Amino acid sequence: MMTGNSRQVTSAQQDCHPELLQLVERHRKHQFQKPIADFNQRAFQQAEQQWLAHGGPLILDSGCGVGDSTRFLAEQHPDHLVMGLDRSVHRLQRQRPDLPANALLLRTDLVDFWRLAASAGWQPDRHFLFYPNPYPKPSQLSRRFHAHPVFPAMVTLSKQLEARSNWKIYLQELQTGLAAYGIHSLIEPIEADSPAVSAFERKYRASQQPLWKLITQS
């Protein structure tokens, strides 16, 4: 059996952040104005062309890291185009060479890509967010996606969202944020004997960490 030394998330927060709903509401009412960076515009154009060329339904794997989850999803959904999106060149360069033909890895910042995709009316069949950076200090709340100004775009994109985390509070906050948009979700533990979907999931498993997933209910 693999063993690991990955540390569990520790935080001064023992529950959802008290300012969470206030931030979610503020971002719901005010449009996020930050200009889109050129490299994200180009990445989005490439994504559009690839999706057009594929012609089938779409799955987004946001924050895909080294792309193991993109590969996993592409194998599970051979009729879909699976786009793995990550801002880290370093992580994307560590991808294994034999990516399935229905998988695509793109370097982009989600903060821009999600806004571009939402305003283009994209409706991917599924949206996966595996182990987003937790930013567990209470002062880092606004860096978590659900408390960030990009959240309205993320919500618009796909009602079929699955997010995984080793910090349950992250998912509870995401659940609260989604509920403010009328989207219901369930949080459940991830079975320890289910196949690991991503590099971080494998790492956390090896350290025997409890893991959770949030799934939206349509």
Ligand X SMILES: C[S@@+](CC[C@H](N)C(=O)[O-])C[C@H]1O[C@@H](n2cnc3c(N)ncnc32)[C@H](O)[C@@H]1O
The number of residues making up the chain comes to 218
Query: Binding to ligand X by residue 133, rule CB under 6 A?
Result: yes
Nearer to ligand X, 22 or 133 (CB): 133
Separation of alpha carbons 192 and 38, rounded Å: 42
Query: Binding to ligand X by residue 105, rule CB under 6 A?
Result: no
Query: Binding to ligand X by residue 8, rule CB under 6 A?
Result: no
Helix (H, G, I), strand (E, B) or coil at 10: coil
Query: Binding to ligand X by residue 64, rule CB under 6 A?
Result: yes
Nearer to ligand X, 158 or 198 (CB): 198
Residue type, 82: V
Stretch that binds ligand X, among 1-9, 20-28, 51-59, 87-95 (CB under 6 A): 87-95
Positive/negative CA dihedral, 159, 117, 53, 83: negative
Going edge to edge, which strands form the sheet with 103-107?
103-107, 81-86, 58-62, 126-130, 161-165, 212-217, 184-189
Among 16, 106, 110, 169, binds ligand X (CB under 6 A): 110
| Paired tokens of 74 | 């592409």
Separation of alpha carbons 57 and 54, rounded Å: 8
**Degrees, nearest 5: CA angle 117-177-35:** 35
Among 40, 69, 158, 165, binds ligand X (CB under 6 A): 69
- Within 10 angstroms of residue 139's Cβ, the number of other Cβ atoms is 9
Stretch that binds ligand X, among 23-31, 49-57, 155-163, 197-205 (CB under 6 A): 197-205
Among 135, 201, 212, 213, binds ligand X (CB under 6 A): 201
Among 28, 91, 159, 168, binds ligand X (CB under 6 A): 91
Residue type, 76: Q
Query: Binding to ligand X by residue 151, rule CB under 6 A?
Result: no
Report in angstroms how near the CB of residue 110 gets to ligand X at its nearest. 4
Nearer to ligand X, 185 or 201 (CB): 201
DSSP structure class, residue 195 = P
Residues that bind ligand X (CB under 6 A): 63-65, 69, 86-88, 91, 109-111, 130-133, 198-201
